[in-house]
Amino acid sequence: MDVVDRINKLKEEKNAIILAHNYQPKEIQKIADFLGDSLELCIKAKETDADIIVFCGVDFMAESAKILNPDKKVLMPEIEGTQCPMAHQLPPEIIKKYREKYPEAPLVVYVNTTAETKALADITCTSANADKVVNSLDTDVVLFGPDNNLAYYVQKRTDKKVIAIPEGGGCYVHKKFTIDDLKRVKSKYPNAKVLIHPECNPELQDNADYIASTSGILRIVLESDDEEFIIGTEVGMINRLEIELEKLGKQKKLIPLKEDAICHEMKKITLEKIEKCLLEERYEIKLKKEVIEKAQKAIERMLNI
Ligand code: 13P
Ligand code: SF4
């Protein structure tokens, strides 16, 4: 039996499900039961009747799965180096400062935050629903963090005042893309449609054909009649696009905006680590009960929109 067969056998014996984010390495995506963006993974985690959720992604995603399934065992195949740096940019002490300054403004936090931060938020959002979430609130001013670029995206789609917190917050992978990168790639592929993730800098967003979350990018590539796309997000997304195009027997040209746009935290998981994770039931996500209860309210409020 090879490692994939052994994983499948263990999964069956333990009634486990493997959820994986669109940025995971291709071999992980291929064995996952469900692939998706942050929002889809939250929904799937809530719906599953598996006893064990093996989460292949970064810390905040596995924590969201635990928050939505407090009675289930949520495991990550690797715990070292799988912390999304942006998720740690909005700690409780910074929130307190802004809450004091803007006592009337609700706090919207990106799901790319720790469980403790979610517990202090009024509502969460993902890149697939951030504008909808902000527009659903009954106030003129909102605090929004930690991604300043996603805040820019939302500001363009709402009449409310969006206060981005903390100053300079954002993703080191998406902030790497520059307008010169786009000009260079576009000059080589002038007919390619430009797909940009809302974590990218404003000038990239302003020059995109489409701005979308990873699931939005997938939908556009699969459904559009266009044949060439410049992919302005983490390179793992190309794995997901290739897998889905192959299933449909389609071929399209996928050009990474930058070959080295790699989220290192997403690449720590291997098939061997998944096998060990299932065998030893490690590494279990554990959160305090009161944090789960409060964070759950903020996530559920988003899911109900
Ligand atoms: P998506 O929700 O679009 O998959 O984004 C998650 C993420 O971490 C992007 O960097
Ligand atoms: Fe975090 Fe950026 Fe990696 Fe997404 S791509 S998980 S935001 S570091």
**pLDDT under 50 in the chain at which residues?**
none
Taking Cα atoms as reference points, which of 186, 229, 234 lies closest to residue 213?
Answer: 234
What is the per-residue pLDDT for 154? Answer: 98
Residue 156's pLDDT is 98
pLDDT of residue 232: 98
Structural domains of the chain in order of their starting residue, each with its CATH number:
3-82+266-286 (3.40.50.10800), 86-171 (3.40.50.10800), 174-256 (3.40.50.10800)
Q: What's the CA-to-centroid distance between 225 and ligand 1, angstroms?
A: 25
Q: Looking at ligand 1, which residue's alpha carbon is closest to its atom 6?
A: 38
Q: Atom 9 (ligand 1): residue with closest C-alpha?
A: 199
Percent of the chain with pLDDT over 70: 100
C-beta 265 within 6 A of ligand 2: yes
The pLDDT value recorded for residue 233 is: 98
pTM value is: 0.97
Is the beta carbon of 234 within 6 A of some atom in ligand 2? yes
